[in-house]
Structure 1
Amino acid sequence: MTQASSVPPLDLLLERSSTGDLVAPAPQGDVLVRILSAGLRAPDHGHLCPWRYVVIAGDARPAFAEHVVAAMGRQEPDAPEKKREKRRRRFSETPMIIALGMHLRPEHKVPVMEQEMAVAAGAMNVLNALHMEGFGGVWVSGGFCEDRALLSQLGLDAPHRLAGFLLVGTAEKPERARERPETGDYMAFWTGSEPVTFRADERQR
Structure 2
Amino acid sequence: MPHPLSLLQQRHSVPSRQLGAPAPEGDVLEALLATAIRVPDHGKLVPFRLILLRGDAKLAFGAKLAALSLRVNPDMPESKREKDRTRYDFAPLVVAVIAHLDPSSSVPVIEQQLSAGCVAYNLLLGSEALGFGAQWLTGWAAYHREVADLLGLGEHEQVIGFVHIGTAQIDVPDRDRPAVNDLVSVWAP
Q: Same fold (TM over 0.5)?
A: yes
Q: Residue 29 of structure 1 corresponds to which residue in structure 2? A: 26
Query: CA deviation digits over 1:92-120, x for unaligned, max 9?
Result: 23211111111111121111111111111
The answer to whether the 8 Å contact 1:27/1:169 transfers is: yes
Tell me if 1:88 matches 2:85: yes
The answer to whether structure 1 residue 169 and structure 2 residue 162 are counterparts is: no
Question: What's the offset of the Cα at 1:141?
Answer: 1.1
Pick from 3, 9, 13 the counterpart of residue 8 of structure 1: 3
Q: SS of the residue aligned with 2:43? A: coil
Residues 79 and 44 of structure 1, relative CA distance in 2, 3 Å threshold: farther
1:166 & 1:87 partners in 2: Cα distance? 16
How far did residue 160 of structure 1 move?
Answer: 0.9
Offset of residue 76 of structure 1: 4.4
User: Which residue of 2 is the match for residue 199 of structure 1?
Assistant: none
Pick one of 51, 75, 80 that aligns with 2:48: 51
Paired with 2:99 and 2:126, the residues of 1 have a C-alpha distance of 20
Matched with 1:124 is: 121
Deviations 1:7-35 (A, max 9, x none): 33411221010111111111111111111
Q: TM-score, normalised by structure 2?
A: 0.90
Closer/same/farther in 2, CA of residues 178 and 143 from structure 1, 3 Å limit? closer
Select which of 133, 139, 162 maps to 1:142.
139
- Give the whole-Å Cα distance in 1 for the aligned partners of 2:138 and 2:61: 15
Give 5+ residue unaligned stretches, structure 2. none
What 5-or-longer segments of structure 1 have no aligned partner? 1-5, 194-205
Q: Percent identity?
A: 39
| Cα deviations by residue, 1:118-176 (Å, 9 ceiling, x for unpaired) | 11111111100100000011111122222223212323121211112011111112232
Distance 1:86 1:178, change over 3 A: same
Alpha carbons of structure 1 residues 95 and 48: separation in structure 2 relative to 1, 3 Å: same
- Structure 1 consecutive aligned stretches of length 4 or more whose deviation exceeds 6 Å: none
In the alignment of these two chains, the number of paired residues is 187
1:67–1:9 Cα change, 3 Å: farther
Secondary structure of the structure 1 residue equivalent to 2:160:
strand
**Structure number with bigger Rg:** 1
